[in-house]
Amino acid sequence: NTVLLGALSTRLDVEPEIWLAVISRRVPPKYVELNRQAFQEGRSLA
């Protein structure tokens, strides 16, 4: 899901830093880094 969110974020007018801040607040701490990496991967694949 986070990879898809990263890809989608390239089409929306919201800065990547905002998305990453939301991930950091909403994802359990032990999964934050993994989800941040997945988000960035999705952005690079878009």
Residue 32 domain boundaries:
2-45
Region 20-42: what's the mean pLDDT?
Answer: 99
Q: Residue 19 — very low, low, confident or very high, per pLDDT cuts 50/70/90?
A: very high
For the chain, the domain total comes to: 1
pTM exceeds 0.85, yes or no: yes
Q: How many CB atoms lie within 10 A of CB 6?
A: 25
DSSP character at residue 11: T
